[in-house]
Amino acid sequence: MNLNENALIVLKKRYQRKDSKGRTIETPEELFERVADSIAKADEVFGEKPAAVEKTRKKFLTLMTSMAFLPNSPTLMNAGSTLGQLAACFVLPIEDSMESIFETLKQTALIHKSGGGTGFSFSRIRPANDVVHSTAGISSGPLSFMSVFDVATETVKQGGTRRGANMGILRVDHPDIEAFTKSKNDLKRYNNFNISVAVTDEFMEACENDSQYSLVNPRTGKVEKRLKAREVFEMIAHSAWLSGEPGVIFIDRINRDNPTPELGEIESTNPCGEQPLLPLESCTLGSINLSKITVKGKIDFNKLKKAIHTAVHFLDNVIEVNKYPLEQIKEKSRATRKIGLGVMGFADMLISMGIAYDSDEAVKTAEEVMSFVDTESKTASAALAKKRGNFPAYKMSIHDNAKKPDMRNAATTTIAPTGTISIIAGVSSGIEPLFAVAHSRHVLDGRKLFEINPQFVKATKKAGIYSDDLVNKVATLGSVQNIAEVPGDLKAIFKTSHDIAPQWHIKMQAAFQKYTDNAVSKTVNCPPETSREDVENIYLSAYKAGCKGVTIYRYGSRETQVLNIGTEETDESRVAPRARPVRTKGMTERISTGCGKLYVTVNFDEKGMCEVFAQMGKTGGCASSQIEAAGRLISLALRSGVNIDSILKQLIGIRCPSPAWQSQKMVLSCPDAIAQVLKNIANSDYVENVPVMGVCPECGGAVSHQEGCLVCHICGYSKCS
């Protein structure tokens, strides 16, 4: 196998088996052998002889070790292990009763413990302040129960390899929709949730007509009030403009494509929004690496066909050998046998073909490739059905009985996030543009490693412009668009996600959605100057283009302070720092940094923290003056009444070239060290696991918003997994 350094780091940290002392006990090759062995054994259930099973095992192993296809993370982690839970995504039901809510909470904990992510619709829960007959009290509403699920998720650690992740959905016609829409404007809330509004066709029509729509109490089925649809739509867009959430899912469109409507209505998706599921269903996902099926700038469709058929066989086998966390989930999942075959490395494929991502030719290529994947995945599923039988709920599927084709799986295609597995494969994530043409990575001894797109290296060497200076520039900027020596033809094909205009993100998502059974995980990246009206237009464009949902992220929006609109500062309202008393009390804490030992003194007056001094063990120089300046400004802010969490937000995550470790935690810089001391002394509940200033909380690398989530391209950290 040809694995780069990042791939080896991610495999060792997250996938390779370890002993009771945390020592790695398998090689990358042994990992893939373990997975291939385990998944191929499902053939025995269908009467295959040992020689045929061995042939299947070799096909699976070759497909994975060539990086032409990789399954979702739980399959790589758990296949062949005692745990054996191989599915990535689940949807659980929540009814309007304490019994249902806390039964689902228990189920959620079991799924998170096994490495899966969960989605819920809270739409059946009666609104806040509604009547509770059994106690003569009032309801606390769906948001309060979301908080319970959020805390429970924070508590459950998934075997040290994956964090719990949730999708919280509320219908746009629920009476609490306004509070839900604004709930993540406060970045401290619901950090283990992505949230989306389930938008109906009726609501979208009311928006276009500038008319009202009804909010319906789910307990009584009665209309509680009517709102102007346009105002709610603007509220959703405004919150997304502020914080990137909520996303929207077009729930009626999703249900029109529900392959088994007689089994129930789809109400929710998995955490990244690409997998709509019935309550208690799960889905098995995997992605074909498109960068591996291009030869001399052309798509090798024969090679792609073989990969698709082997991948469908693999994913159907996963359903068979999976050890489901709950018996009800096993029954539901095997009734429909949904699989989600998707793609990764699409941006790399376009580059190898000399096609710009933001072009009609790229959109046409997307449709051509995904149409082929969809058609061949169904051909492969039909071939399996002839050997193994149709999926058990086949008679309840949407096809006309007279013309119904054989089908082993109720659904076959999904464009899922590939954040971690694309690092293993060394390619771009899913159908996203490049994250960066190059970026730098700091290692523990203070060295800086530059990681640059190999196709860019090849192209610039061919153009005669490759140099160390160019690599430094690209790594610093991430993009090549403002580098003079890069010619226009290379600028066109080496665009990053933030170089692509939002309308092209939507066009690309719609192109893949056209030939995808389930949905498409994609983030529409927007520049900082994007307006609220722009966000509204993106939502409308996604709806009209046939997307099943949309997530936007305005660059920098999570890192900026939310301003109060309509308030004007006067001389009287300006804050002056309180005077420092003659005597203060305090403490000094030592913390290790990449520059040496830092001694941080925090003093208190009668109103709380009032000043901070910091001194490096070795004095003098620019670093010491900067540390002194930071202390003075922090002191000024404290005596001016600035909340400690606001100070922490500005300091935590600032990076320098020399990070260090202390108490099994990375200290990224001297300002970061001061912030960590302040947090400890203040006993602040500031949430550090939300990356600040674009920094990964695990490795200090760069993070980006893509595929409906926040991911690190160095260590594989994902907020959604």
CA angle 701, 705, 706 (to 5 degrees): 115
Task: Please tell me the distance from the alpha carbon of residue 225 to that of residue 179, in angstroms, as a whole number.
Answer: 15
Give the residue ranges of the chain where pLDDT is below 50: 158-160, 443-447, 560-573, 687-693
Cβ atoms of 271 and 118 closer than 8 Å? yes
Cβ atoms of 530 and 554 closer than 8 Å? yes
Q: What pLDDT does residue 163 have?
A: 65
The β-bridge relationship of strands 608-616 and 596-605 is: antiparallel
Q: What pLDDT does residue 450 have?
A: 61
Sorted by where each begins, the domain ranges of the chain are 5-86+288-423, 93-125+134-269, 576-703
- Report which DSSP code applies to 14: I
- Quick one: tokens of 556? 């920098």
Query: CB count, 10 Å around CB of 413?
Result: 26
**Selection from 679, 644, 685 nearest residue 665 by Cα:** 679
Q: Where are the alpha helices (DSSP H) in 266-326?
A: 301-321
Residue carrying structure tokens 């698709």: 308
Residues contacting 256, CB < 8 A, separation 6+: none
| 681-684-686-688 Cα dihedral, nearest 10 degrees | 40
- Quick one: tokens of 580? 């420092």
- Quick one: tokens of 453? 């797109």
Residue 162's alpha-carbon distances to 15, 73, 716, 720, in angstroms, are 10, 9, 10, 9
Cβ atoms of 286 and 72 closer than 8 Å? yes
Cβ atoms of 523 and 435 closer than 8 Å? no
Q: What pLDDT does residue 624 have?
A: 79
DSSP 58-94: HHHHHHHHTTSEEE-HHHHHHTTSSS-----EEE---
Phi, psi of 559 (to 5 degrees): -100, 5
Query: CB count, 10 Å around CB of 334?
Result: 16
Is the preceding peptide bond at 487 cis, omega within 30 degrees of 0? Answer: no
Using the Cα atoms of residue 169, residue 172, residue 174 and residue 177 in order, give the sign of their dihedral. positive
- Quick one: tokens of 502? 């939002």
**Selection from 435, 469, 506, 492 nearest residue 713 by Cα:** 435
Half-sphere exposure of 303 (CA within 13 A, CB side): 15
What is the set of active-site residues? 270, 272, 274
Cβ atoms of 414 and 707 closer than 8 Å? no
- Quick one: tokens of 474? 């690209």
Task: Count the helices and strands in the chain (H runs, E runs).
Answer: 24, 29
- Whats the size of the chain, residue-wise? 721
Cβ atoms of 385 and 378 closer than 8 Å? no
